[in-house]
Amino acid sequence: MMGIFDFLTGEFIDVIHWVDDTRDTMVWRFEREGHEIKYGAKLTVREGQAAVFVHEGQLADVFTPGLYMLETNNMPILTTLNHWDHGFRSPFKSEIYFVNTTRFSNLKWGTKNPIMLRDPEFGPTRLRAFGTYTVKVADPARFLSEIVGTDGEFTMDEISYQIRNIIVQAFSRIIAGSGIPVLDMAANTADLGKLVAAEISKVVAEYGLTIPEFYIENISLPPAVEEALDKRTSAGLAGDLGKFTQYSAAEAMTAAAKNPSGGAGIGAGLGMGMGMAMAQQMANQQGPWGAAPQTGQATPPPPPPPVEHVWHIAENGKTHGPYSKADMGRMAGDGKLTRDSHVWTAGQDGWLRAEDVAELAQLFTVLPPPPPEA
């Protein structure tokens, strides 16, 4: 008889456990018809789990990882709620929720709309950001009462949207009030991440959650601001206005060369003109003989020497010459060159009277006047 009794008793022993075969389940309710649990049932709570008993909508005992026999000495809160005595042996009704206490990692967050802030260098501007975070249930009982309620199976997707909103609100508030220049934010993402994580943890702690890891992967500016920043960076790399002009000319030449529909002649002419301008500018900067310009105020190069003209004279249907300006001066003094003499030099439009040529007219103004009559 004892053997048969032991066998029948073993057949009715409850085994309560949960094997999670998913990656996103946070809470799973142990289903039993009528929620009737036999006294002395075997409860197995694995690592990364917690078991929460709920009796008539009221939180009761919480079991951490381990193997338990459900008796009055293991369920003090449930025993108190039901006014059980130590001789209690009957089945009882209670809901059991298994809570996943492992980390849910590689979760995404991002700013849906740009964040407005006042940058000390750019003034009012907007930025976007995104990254990843990790969430973990730190207080199973609080999480169950604040978030899950009576949901029989609660997944990460059901709360990720709410957590993302909390992250974005905290991130926006910290970024807007940090006073960190936008240009320095990329170098301080780790420190910003710690500030945001600390602010988020205060909020999610009310839900029984914690954020063990929080990462800012990217902070980006609007396209217009990035374009202005790129121009400023290019000017900074050029060093000064002259070098920036050379840089811009080179960029224009490259763009003209890549333009298949602009015409080879136009592109070549543009490139040649810019190239000559760049060469002239570089020559002016380097000074004579290719020497580098001295520091401080640069000395302007001397003007080019004047072009020396040579002259031809027409007399009696014949020409003779060429004569230098000095020769012309001597002939003017000797009377061989008069104001009415016809002269010509390279580049002059035909023969002209000597006094009509500005350069030669000066020769006659320095001659002494004719002697007085005797």
Helix boundaries (H) for the chain: 2-11, 76-82, 140-143, 157-178, 182-185, 189-204, 223-238, 241-258, 264-286, 325-334, 358-365
Show the tokens assigned to 217.
Answer: 């992967």
By the 8 A CB rule, do 96 and 27 touch?
Answer: no
Q: How far is CA 335 from the centre of its chain?
A: 84
Domains detected in the chain = 2-100 (no CATH), 104-221 (3.30.479.30), 311-365 (3.30.1490)
Q: What's the whole-model pTM score?
A: 0.55
pLDDT of res. 282:
57
CA 271/CA 277 separation, integer angstroms: 10
Q: Which of 47, 53, 28 is nearest to 103 (CA)?
A: 47
Q: Taking CA 26 as the corner, what is the angle to CA 24 and CA 30, rounded to the nearest 5 degrees?
A: 120
Show the tokens assigned to 290.
Answer: 């290719």
CA 220/CA 175 separation, integer angstroms: 13
For the chain, give me the number of helices (H) and strands (E)? 11, 18
Please report, in tens digits, the pLDDT of each residue of the chain (374 residues total).
Answer: 333 334 344 445 578 999 988 888 999 988 877 668 888 889 999 999 999 998 888 888 999 999 999 888 888 888 888 888 777 778 888 889 999 999 998 899 888 888 888 877 778 888 888 999 999 999 999 998 888 877 778 888 888 888 888 888 888 888 877 777 877 877 778 888 888 888 888 888 998 999 998 888 888 877 777 777 777 666 665 555 566 666 667 677 777 666 655 544 545 555 555 555 555 655 555 555 545 555 556 677 777 776 778 888 988 888 888 888 888 888 888 888 888 889 888 878 888 888 888 888 877 776 566 667 76
pLDDT of res. 259:
65
CA 319/CA 148 separation, integer angstroms: 116
| Cis-peptide into 322, omega within 30 deg | yes
pLDDT of res. 49:
93
By the 8 A CB rule, do 218 and 226 touch?
Answer: no
pLDDT of res. 258:
66
